[in-house]
Amino acid sequence: MEKIERSSSWTHTRRRPHPAADAARVGSAPDAARAASAGSAATKAPAGRRAIAKAEKRARILTAARTVMGEKGYAQMSMSEVASLADVAAGTVFQYAATKAELLMMVTESIWAEHVNDALLATSAPGQRSPAEVVDAIMNSLDPIFDMAVHWPETTVWIAREILFGEDLPHRREVLGLVEKLEAHIAHLLGTCSSRAHDAAAPGTAAPSPASAAPGRNDLAASPDRAHRDTALDVGARMIVTSGLAELNRARQGRGEMRLLMGRMREIVTLVAAGVGATHRAV
């Protein structure tokens, strides 16, 4: 039954709702919110599952690539073989690494990231060192990389080639970032090189003063030659890392022997450390 409600300005007809309808209307807003929330969750759930599935595929591809490289070497590895071992379609591998060389860089980054960080933590103690101690610390920092040369000799020289001459692609950029991180750490170690540390350790010599024993890049904070020396440290670190990569590439070309690599690297590091020590004394 409809009731007519009159207004002073106009007349309209309105159906008076049943109480049950009011109750239904009161609950409609929260219900709508809950429905919207449920819909949003339903939308997020597939996205979350897709991310998990993508990460799992990436992990399988990495494991498969490492396995094939370990068994056959990089040169003999094929993308289709990696796809088969990872249980993914052949085209799926190219979604994660656009080229075979990028797959090599993807594997390299996964291995070096942990090893480089461990090396940095193991040789990060502050203070000055004798040239011999600096050489040992730098060689320890390089060990994780050159350890691959022992276990994956053929593949490691391809890694060096890609780092030096490869195409500018995402996984190679990640590896270059690790190389720069290692170079910065080696520059820090070179900055701790001082014959004063060696002299102080000799019998009958006085211990260095706190100012003279300050860590590498800080000991010349007030010197006008500070920028010049920091540049020398960076150049020295780059020389060491680039020389190591070049030596690996020489081995790939048959112009050097892998078994002699670490000996040559120690000679290079010793020469660079001696030069930095001479710069330290000069300033």
If you average pLDDT over each of 63-77, 111-125, 227-241, which comes out highest? 63-77
Residues 23-36 have a mean pLDDT of 49
Can you tell me the distance from the alpha carbon of 272 to that of 231, in angstroms, rounded to the nearest whole number?
Answer: 13
**Three-class DSSP labels, the chain:** CCEEEECCCCEEEECCCCHHHHHHHHCHHHHHHHHHHHHHHHHHHHHHHHHHHHHHHHHHHHHHHHHHHHHHCCCCCCHHHHHHHHCCCHHHHHHHCCCHHHHHHHHHHHHHHHHHHHHHHHCCCCCCECHHHHHHHHHHHHHHHHHHHHHCHHHHHHHHHHHHHCCCCHHHHHHHHHHHHHHHHHHHHHHCECHHHHHHHCCCCCCCCCCCCCCHHHCCCCCCCHHHHHHHHHHHHHHHHHHHHHHHHHHHCCCCCHHHHHHHHHHHHHHHHHHHHHHHHHC
Rounded alpha-carbon distances, angstroms, from residue 46 to 39, 72, 76: 12, 38, 38
Residues 83-97 have a mean pLDDT of 96
Report the phi/psi class of residue 87: left, alpha or beta, with left for phi > 0 and alpha for psi in -120 to 50.
left
Look up residue 184 and give its amino acid.
A
- CA torsion angle for 109, 112, 113, 115 (degrees, to 10)? 170
Lowest-confidence pick of 11-15, 51-55, 149-153, 241-245: 11-15
Task: For the chain, give the mean pLDDT.
Answer: 76
Identify the pLDDT of residue 213: 39
Identify the pLDDT of residue 227: 66
Identify the pLDDT of residue 124: 59
Tell me the percentage of the chain whose pLDDT exceeds 90: 39
Within a 10 A sphere around the Cβ of 219, how many other Cβ atoms? 21
Residues 40-66 have a mean pLDDT of 83
Tokens of 282: 């000069």
Model pLDDT for residues 101-136, shown as the tens digit of each residue: 999 999 999 988 888 887 777 765 667 888 899 999
Question: What sign for the dihedral angle of Cα 162, 166, 167, 168?
Answer: positive
Identify the pLDDT of residue 201: 42
Tokens of 239: 């020389």
Give this prediction's pTM: 0.68
Residue 212 has pLDDT above 80, yes or no: no
Lowest-confidence pick of 4-8, 111-115, 229-233, 264-268: 4-8
Residue 100 has pLDDT above 70, yes or no: yes
- CA torsion angle for 178, 184, 188, 193 (degrees, to 10)? 100
Within a 10 A sphere around the Cβ of 262, how many other Cβ atoms? 18
Identify the pLDDT of residue 277: 62
